[in-house]
Amino acid sequence: MKKILVFIIFLISIKSYSQTKITLSDAKEINFQAQQTIRNFIDLINDCTVPKLGKGKLFENIKSSYNAQSRNQVFYNANAIIENDIDPALGLHNTNDYAVSPYLTNLNLSMIKSEEADYIINKLSPVRIGDSSLFIRVQYQTIFSGKNSVSHLPYKATQREAVLVVKKNDESTWTTRIKSVRFFDPADSINVNDKKIDIVVDSSANAVFLSDEQLLRELKKDSIVREEKRKQEELVFNDFLKSADSLVKVNKFKEAKVMLLKAQGIRRYSAPLEIKLLEAEKLIEENTYDNLKKKGDKEKNERQFSAAVTFYRKAMEIEPQQIELVGVVNSLSAFIKELSIPENRFQSDDYQGTINECERLLKLHKTEKNNYPELYFFEGKAYKVLAENNRTEANLQEKAIKNLDLAIASFPNFTQAIITRADVYANLQKKYFNAIADYDILTTNALDDTIVKPHYFETKAQWKKIIGNKDGAVDDYSKAIVLAPRDRLYIRRGEILFEMQKYADAGKDFSLAISLNPKDTNAYYLRGLTYARLHLAEDAGRDFATLRTLKAISGPRQIIIDSIANEYYANGRANFDKDPIKARKFYGEVLKIKPGNSDAYHGIAEVDFKMAEEDPAGSKSKSAIDKYALSIINNNNAIKSDPKFADAFYKRGLALEKIGKDSMATESLSETIEIDNNRNDAYTERGRLLARLGRYSEAAQNDVAALGSLTAQLALAQNKKDGIATALIIKYQLDMLWLCANAWFLDKKYENAIEMLDRFLNKQQNKVNAEAYYLRGMCYYNTHNYKASNQDLNEAVKLSQQTFRYYFYNAQTYYYDKNYKNAIKNLTAIPADSVSNYPVLKKLLGSCYAQNKDTYAIALENFAEYGKIPAAVNDSTFHVDYGTILLITGQDSAANTCLERALQMTKGPLYFKALFWKTCYLMKIGQFDQMESNLQNAFQKQHDISESDIKLAERLFGDALKKDDKINKKGRKDIYQDLKEHYVKRLNQFKETKVWLEN
């Protein structure tokens, strides 16, 4: 029994209209009586929750608790109000009222029963209250340590308040009775403005009034004294109980009852005492001579001779003068002694000796064998053990059955013989129908209140399950449950119902088992499986979580739970394409079964990604971006559960890319590759992203690393002769060669790009890839290998005649290789409606036509067209070339404008070329002095002036000299010639150096 912890200090604060003052001794008595009333109330509540007390005694106690004639009265009357705290969900401002009897009855029905005290007070203090009579009000805190039997919710500590009616019996004694019990409400107005009754030292006319401090001090002293007295009474109470227990052990039941009644005089309510009294009264009733003799006769008739002798001897102890039982006891004792010989042999594992001894005794009593069914029973049992040890000897089994048959024939109600024969039938001969028939006899003969009858039904149910009679098994388990509702029986019936796919009924049985035994892990496991079959994944997951808490998920159980989760996962995969929302739900069910499952989180992330891709508003809409963000979150969860989950990193990278987080996406893809170096898709995506971020060198290095991995994978696949894998790896290789070539190209590592393109174009299927020829042609173009560039670009044009980009860049290559005719041919092949796609096309055409004096006019037309677009304004090359043709064709003023603009815009070689032609302009207009210095700068620093430029300049120079007769023509010619010779010499040196560098 738990100790009830009660800390009580009564600060008496009383109000009365019928009485103006009370004495200190009265206050002390009221204080003491109030303590006792509250203690009695708690004892009464605990009595109502003790299962052994019985309904009769319960109702008797309830009635006496409000009966004014009973010494056990606690309540003022039957109508005392108690606010409902039985339901844990109720509380202040959310409850209902009960009278005494309904409250205590419902308490008995609604509490999970315990042999210990469940209702405990841990704080108690009274406060004042006023009325026309004398009242006190007590605040206290209670705790039910049990659970509610309906909701199975635990109770919380609650603040309660009891109002007690105080009544004076005579000059010195008082009684206190409970008027109401309710939830304490601090806001209740009766807490305030109460006037206390005065407390005086004694009843004399001039008695001194006590202050609150004095009263408190006096009550504390009185409480200490009374508490010490109560402890002494408690010791006496416990001594009476111990004495009663000792007397029961020596069969002195009447004397024991006397001790218990004395104990009852000390404590009104005590469930253990009440139970002991009930048991004592029952023992007194049972242990009379006639009753014991009747029990002995019953045991004798059932051939339970040892039990019969025991009862007869107890009867003889009560009435020694009755000698009629002496002969019976002696006769039975002799019979028991004779039977003990084979029984002792059996107990010492001497089974053949048991058989021999039984045969000897049967021969000895051959004329009265039927009076010795026990001998047949012992012999049959011995043959049974021998048969179990040697199962190939069918003869031993038959001998066991034969002897057990004889035992039962001699004594049809021979229970042990029937049980043993059924055991032979079932466990040795597998004759379950015979075994069931034997147990039918047992269940028919056994009374409902015997403890073995439920076991008989349970055993029958097990055998019926074996033979496939599941309905019969359920029926027998049900009968066993009616007699003894145990968690084991509910579980076994539930298992059969589960096998019969009656999942709802099975679930109810497992729940009932749990209500009986909240720590029955098998019940939680089986109910979890049942919930899974009912598609109640959340409930199933809750039960499996309980198993984890109880550390009761072993290998086999884990395998089954995993299989359930895997089934949900498989359903998710199956629905991924046709119904992604349904797939997401299935993945969610996995998480309910196995919280934190990385595959499920990843599955949900894939659904989110798919739904974002297919968003009706578009994959760049806000709703789609939100779905990509969810995909990232769920892949993060997957990674948290499994930090080596490569595909979760990969898919997270894809989602991050979709919402514009390219750098983070690259990092996630790098994590993928770090975990799995063979993730070709991750290499591909990372290379593409790095290139998009302008990190071309890193992109190329990524692609080279991927190609290395692919080479190893290809060798392995070819070694295994795996054609499908080989084809897939080759495809990845080609994709990666292409990406790598592009990365090297963008990084201006043209030689590296050419190497990748050579490998790419070496594959037969890529020989028709115009874009690859184009890209390699551009690599050659950028390395000034114009012939190789023309060869690849011509191949690109041949393969894709409608890709005008190829024509344009092919024309550029021809132009720089001074093959102007082919350049013009490619440029003019571009249709007029596509010319706007190539802004410099007109400039390039102009430059090509400018190389032939017969096409100067066409050159000027193209230059003029190009000059109309905004890009031409700041194109210094255009201004030099256009100015040159304008100068040559005699449009000097316009030429000067273009050349001046070029000189303002440019530096380096182009500047000096512009300066050269500016000099030519000056020669044409006769400004020779300024011409000489410009020409000297142009010749000395410009290496890009061609011989044709020089010849043209000489012609222009000559024309200028002819126009002006005043200048020293010979001197001017000499100066020009010196400059020219000096320039040509330097030009030849430059060309030789360039050839040397190239070789």
Sorted by where each begins, the domain ranges of the chain are 24-209
- pLDDT per residue as tens digits for the range 440-459: 999 999 988 889 999 999 99
Lowest mean pLDDT among 62-76, 267-281, 359-373, 489-503: 267-281
Strand, coil or helix: 846: helix
Mean pLDDT computed over 208-235: 86
Q: What's the rounded Cα separation, in Å, for the pair 412 and 324?
A: 29
For the cut 70, the answer to whether the pLDDT of residue 970 exceeds it is: no
For the cut 70, the answer to whether the pLDDT of residue 113 exceeds it is: no
Strand, coil or helix: 83: strand
- pLDDT per residue as tens digits for the range 708-751: 998 899 899 899 999 998 989 888 888 899 999 999 999 999 99
Please compute Rg for the chain using Cα positions: 55
Strands 119-127 and 134-144: antiparallel
Handedness of CA 488, 490, 493, 495 (dihedral sign): negative
Tokens encoding 827:
């440029």
Burial class of residue 497 in the structure, from the number of CB atoms within 10 Å of its CB (0-12 exposed, 13-18 middle, 19+ buried): buried
Handedness of CA 78, 83, 88, 94 (dihedral sign): positive
May I ask the CATH architecture of the domain 24-209? Roll (3.10)
Residue whose structure tokens are 């997270």: 652
Residue 122 backbone dihedrals phi, psi, to 5 degrees = -120, 5
Q: How many C-beta neighbours within 10 Å does residue 931 have?
A: 24
Q: Which residue has the higher pLDDT, 666 or 91?
A: 666
Residue whose structure tokens are 């080989």: 726
Residue 127 backbone dihedrals phi, psi, to 5 degrees = -130, 175
End-to-end CA distance of the chain: 107
For the cut 70, the answer to whether the pLDDT of residue 268 exceeds it is: no
Q: Which of 109, 108, 125 is nearest to 31 (CA)?
A: 125
Give residue 826's region: left, alpha or beta (phi > 0; psi -120 to 50).
Answer: alpha
Give residue 799's region: left, alpha or beta (phi > 0; psi -120 to 50).
Answer: alpha
> What pLDDT does 951 receive?
64
Say if CB 276 and CB 241 are below 8 A apart: yes
Say if CB 60 and CB 47 are below 8 A apart: no
Residue 124 backbone dihedrals phi, psi, to 5 degrees = -150, 125
For the cut 50, the answer to whether the pLDDT of residue 168 exceeds it is: yes
Residue whose structure tokens are 């001497």: 350
Beta bridge mates, 111: 148
Note the helical H segments in 348-486. 351-364, 373-389, 394-410, 415-423, 432-445, 453-466, 470-483
Q: What's the rounded Cα separation, in Å, for the pair 953 and 917?
A: 8
Residue whose structure tokens are 């890529």: 766
pTM attached to this predicted model? 0.60
- pLDDT per residue as tens digits for the range 576-627: 999 999 999 999 999 999 999 999 999 999 999 999 999 999 989 999 999 9
